[in-house]
A and B are shown apart, each in its own frame.
Chain A
């Protein structure tokens, strides 16, 4: 009796480990294959039998993307656009989330719901009017227009996550600060802000990833290597007669590795921030 119960427990354990191994392989293997591809010679890549380890390895593909395709220019553009977007998102979204969470705002949940619903708009529905407006204002092919657009794409998520974060800070702290004579601005900057730095880091990371990865607006609003961002660069990475899979893999690794490392480093906070909507209801 006891032993059968024990075997059953053992089987459950084993099944659990097999299942989680499958999940890890499923999640990571395609990217690892991309990493391996980026170090393989074209000769190996077009062989009838794929070789899983990059041996003999080569750095040709990395040389190609930086020397021939000037990939660093795209990286600079992306870093500028994503960096500025993150800063503005945190400043503007932080103020709004603070007001919604800590100050007396009528219909606060109504306002929050409206802000969130903006994030569900199909983005293709705003691309044409924005294109006409940007042309009229002379903002085509500038960092400015991309930052403005990404700001509005990122704000709903930033406000939502920071709102949840601010709500976890006990209200007694506000009361104490107000009694000590702090106004709303002071309350936000010297009390709430220092206490929510982890929240700002996570939210900033989310905004950064959103801007770093965005494709459609970057495609429509930029037209040269001087302003195009990484996704546009990678999408246009095709030669006339063949697809340079090795170069593409190298570019993928270069733009994704920092992101993957950041995400792995901050995974606990990211999961917490992103899932708060599902938990709270």
Chain B
């Protein structure tokens, strides 16, 4: 609007020249803006994953200089490795239990926060605390809370009459994985609740009001209106949570180191040990490649389900 066409051929020519320059810049600018980020992600994330796949077909040992192509030998070894299968089971159990608990408890918390009441902002702020604490600190914190001798959890449970003797929570192979699940639920549930709360707030209030007028109770309102409308959000949040839980490392490594008696060994900690204690980069890469593939399958499964669900909702 500011440059009204002035009379004269030369001015017009100059303008069109500037326009072609502008459009050339317009074509290349987006690429230049994207380039640094894309290059970083390719060199530091995508390429290493592919390189890891290559390593998984070799017998690279850092301790002996061995480095030859061995085909699928590492994967064959994997299928017969009881340590791998036990870590696989622990990881799956942990992923399923923590995702389920965090989604259900998070949903309950979100429903409480959805109501308006005095001090709601403070509750919401408090809920960010577990999320902000470094996972390593969380591990040590739960190590102290659940300590077998002086842990305050044991003391509280005994005062309440729920246990007779002190439980050696993460020092006992029966309860160690449970302790880790509890710690993870503490760390992540409130964040999950905030995600679900954001989803809840998109459910039109008029729908719930209409149902109320028709005589629906609070439970019915939740079960037949909010939950179905929230289902996609719930699935997406659940997927991200499951993918994140599947690669758990910090909590296990710091709290139990995979013990006692390998009862909390998960795939990430096992891979890390094979890589950096065993220095067996070939086999360790096969382990992490197997994790990558499982992760991709989980994402694909959830993804297909979500897309189908969204299609059905919209069509």
Contact = CB atoms under 8 A, between A and B. Distances in A.
A252 B141 contact: yes
Interface of B: 1-2, 22, 25-27, 29-31, 33-34, 36-38, 40-41, 43-49, 51-52, 55, 109, 112-113, 115, 117, 119-120, 122-137, 139-145, 147, 149-150, 152, 155, 186, 190-191, 194-199, 201-202, 232-233, 236-237, 240, 243, 246-247, 249-250, 253-254, 267-268, 271-272, 275-276, 281, 284-285, 288-289, 291-292, 295, 299, 310
Given A34-B137, A259-B133, A278-B237, 17 more contacts: A23-B109, A23-B190, A24-B122, A93-B37, A96-B38, A99-B33, A103-B29, A126-B48, A152-B40, A152-B44, A155-B37, A179-B1, A184-B25, A245-B144, A263-B129, A263-B131, A281-B236
A193 interface: no
A235 B135 CA distance: 10
Given A34-B144, A96-B37, A271-B128, A128 B275 contact: yes
B109 A124 contact: no
Interface string A107-140: 0000100010110111111111111110000000
Interface residues of A, number: 95
Nearest to A176: B1
30 contacts: A20-B113, A26-B186, A26-B190, A27-B126, A31-B133, A99-B30, A103-B30, A104-B26, A118-B45, A122-B246, A124-B288, A126-B49, A128-B52, A129-B55, A130-B44, A130-B48, A180-B2, A215-B136, A215-B250, A215-B254, A216-B253, A234-B134, A245-B143, A252-B141, A256-B137, A263-B128, A267-B125, A270-B128, A275-B197, A279-B199
Nearest to A234: B136
Contacts of A57: none
A2 interface: no
B33 A95 contact: yes
Nearest to A232: B136
B271 A248 contact: no
Main secondary structure on B side of the interface with A = helix
B112 A31 contact: no
A128 to B, nearest CB: 5
Nearest to B291: A122
Given A123-B249, A125-B52, A125-B288, A234 B29 contact: no
